[in-house]
Amino acid sequence: MIAMLALWLRLLTLAVTPSVTVVPASPRPGETVAIFVTVPADAAVAVVWRCRPLPVYFVNGRWRALLGVPADLPAGPHPLAVRVERAEGPQTFTVTVPVQARRFPSQRVRLSAAKRRLFAVPQVAAEKALWRAMLATATPEQLWQGAFLLPVRGRVTAPFGLRRIYVGLREPQGIHRGVDFAAPTGTPVRAANEGRVLLARPFTLEGTAVLLDHGQGVLSAYFHLAATRVREGETVYKGQIIGTVGSTGVATGPHLHWALYVHGTPVDPLQWTHPNWLNRLR
């Protein structure tokens, strides 16, 4: 009798399907998505999106993974695999994430001959490799607190996702991976949230730049600065001045290019400025 009861309890436990919540349920390209998995505390959770494992963190009693939907991802259903391992045995299942269609405008940009030559500078390849390595940073601790601030006051001159065409260049042609704000040279640029300075140095294309690690794979970047006011390795608070607006690198005039990355995927940073979005991450 006791053996039958134990077997029944074991089967009942295995039959319990973990609760998975996807926020937003039907995202658009360029948006950040949160996946919450609610399981008993003794479980281990793995999440895979488009053949790519996502780091998972225990937050407020449930597991959370973040992913960035690529700006060029085709609309339609995309599978999300979730695996839960417990003492009673593993469970693997698939959740379908319906990605909406999203059209981005295009923009033709004319650069001076001097700016066009920057794309051919030999050190650009090494700089790109450094960016890729830094953008893969995934500090386990969540450093950001609440909604992100706009880092500068200014008019948006180029939104996220803009299809940008450089006149006179076959390469690069691609997606604008951040938001551009027009502002006078010397305008203070502030940290959008708490974090740690990963990079604060000049680059050929990005100009003088700062990269902040906000924890758990969320990073923000600030390009074309006239100067930086922080050092690599330094911890900064939300709203701290980290540099000033400039036109260094490939820029046609003084402005700030502000970008946000989730596990290396560029996403629309303006989503992270809405308190409602940050509240849904809890």
Contact predicate 22/66, CB 8 Å: no
- Work out the average pLDDT over 152-160: 95
Alpha carbons 226 and 98: distance in angstroms, whole number: 42
Residue corresponding to tokens 């390469």: 171
pLDDT digits (tens, 9 = 90+) for 73-118: 999 999 999 999 988 888 898 999 999 999 999 888 888 888 889 9
The pLDDT of residue 16: 54
**Residue-by-residue DSSP string for 135-201:** HT---SS----SSPPPSS--EEEE-TT-EEEETT-SS--EE--SEEEE--TT-EEE-SSSEEEEEEE
Q: Is the pLDDT of residue 123 over 80?
A: yes
Other C-beta atoms closer than 10 Å to the C-beta of 195 total 25
Share of the chain above pLDDT 70, in %: 93
pLDDT confidence of residue 165: 83
State residue 137's pLDDT score.
96
pLDDT for the residue numbered 9: 40
Can you give the pTM of this predicted structure?
Answer: 0.91
Could you report the per-residue pLDDT of 167-179, keeping only the tens digit for each? Answer: 877 665 789 999 9
What integer best gives the mean pLDDT of the chain? Answer: 91
Residues of the chain with CATH 2.60.40.10: 2-99
* CATH 2.70.70.10 residue ranges for the chain: 106-280
Q: How far apart are alpha carbons 119 and 117 in whole angstroms?
A: 5
β-strands 188-190, 106-109 pairing: unpaired
Q: Does domain 2-99 have CATH number 2.60.40.10?
A: yes
Are the C-beta atoms of 235 and 195 separated by less than 8 Å?
A: yes
Superfamily the domain 106-280 falls into: Glucose Permease (Domain IIA) (2.70.70.10)
Task: List phi, psi (to 5°) of 98.
Answer: -80, 110
Tokens of 15: 């039959």
Residue 129: per-residue pLDDT: 98
Does residue 15 have a pLDDT over 50?
no
